[in-house]
Amino acid sequence: MRNLQKYFGLLAAIIVFAVPALGQNFTGAGRAIATAFEKRAKDYSELRERLEGGLPKLSKKATPEQIEAHKAALLKSVQGARVGAKRGDIFTADASVFIRGLIKAEFTGRDRRELRSAVFEAETKGVLVKVNAAYPESKELVEMPPSLLLALPQLPKQLRYRFVGTNMLLVDRESNLIVDYMTNALP
C-alpha cells in the first residue's frame, strides 16, 4: 500500500511539472518571442500585486459589498498606474504574429470552424475592446480551449486569454481589466 502511495505521488508530481511544459517546446526565435511576451505579462502582474498590496486587506468575513469595493479599488488603482498603456504593450507586433501562428497551427479544418462558431456565438457584442477598460461583468467570457492554452505562452495566474470576436484579449482575472489585446487572432 505504501509503495502504491509513493507511485501515485510520483505520478502526480510528473503530471504537475510535465503538463505545463508540453506546449512550451518553442525553438529559436519563437522561444525568444515567447520569453519576452511572458516577461511583459509578468511585469504587469508584479505591478498589479504591488498595487493590490497597498490596498486595505479584506477580512475572511468580508461581505459581498466589501469584496466588490475592493475589486473596484484595485481596478481604479491599476487603471491609474497604467494611464499611458496602449495596444501592443504586451502583444507586441512580433508576439502577435507568433501567437496567430500558434492558433492557426492548433486549429485547422473542422476544429477551426468550431472555434470560430463558439467565439462568434458568445454574448460579447457591445464589449468595448480597449486597453485599460473594464470588461463588462454582464458579458460572457469565452473560455480558451485547453489544447490552445497548452500551446500558447504561459501567463501569470492573474491573467487570462479571452476572445472577443476575432480579437484575443489579456484580461485581469480579478478586476476584469483589459490589459492588452491583439486583432485578427482567429484564423
Q: Say what the pLDDT of residue 39 is.
A: 97
Model-level pTM?
A: 0.81
Report whether pLDDT(16) > 60.
Answer: no
DSSP H or E run through 131: none
Q: Assess whether pLDDT exceeds 60 at residue 12.
A: no
pLDDT at 3 over 70: no
Task: Tell me which of 5-9, 104-108, 115-119, 166-170 is least confident.
Answer: 5-9
- Model confidence pLDDT, tens digit, residues 19-68: 444 446 677 888 999 999 999 999 999 999 999 999 998 889 999 999 99
pLDDT at 127: 86
Could you tell me which residue, 100 or 17, shows the higher pLDDT? 100
In the DSSP assignment, the letter for residue 135 is P
Give tens-digit pLDDT for 112-144.
Answer: 778 877 777 777 888 889 999 999 888 887 778
How far apart, in whole angstroms, are the C-alpha atoms of residue 148 and residue 145? 5
Distance between CA atoms of residues 119 and 124, nearest Å: 9
Alpha-carbon distance 5 to 2, whole Å? Answer: 5
* Range with the poorest average pLDDT among 19-28, 71-80, 128-137, 147-156: 19-28
CA distance 41 to 51: 16
Q: How far are the Cα atoms of 57, 104, 144, 147 from residue 101, in angstroms, in the given order? A: 42, 5, 16, 14
Geometric angle at alpha carbon 130, from 125 and 136, rounded to 5°: 50
pLDDT > 70 fraction of the chain, expressed in percent and rounded: 87
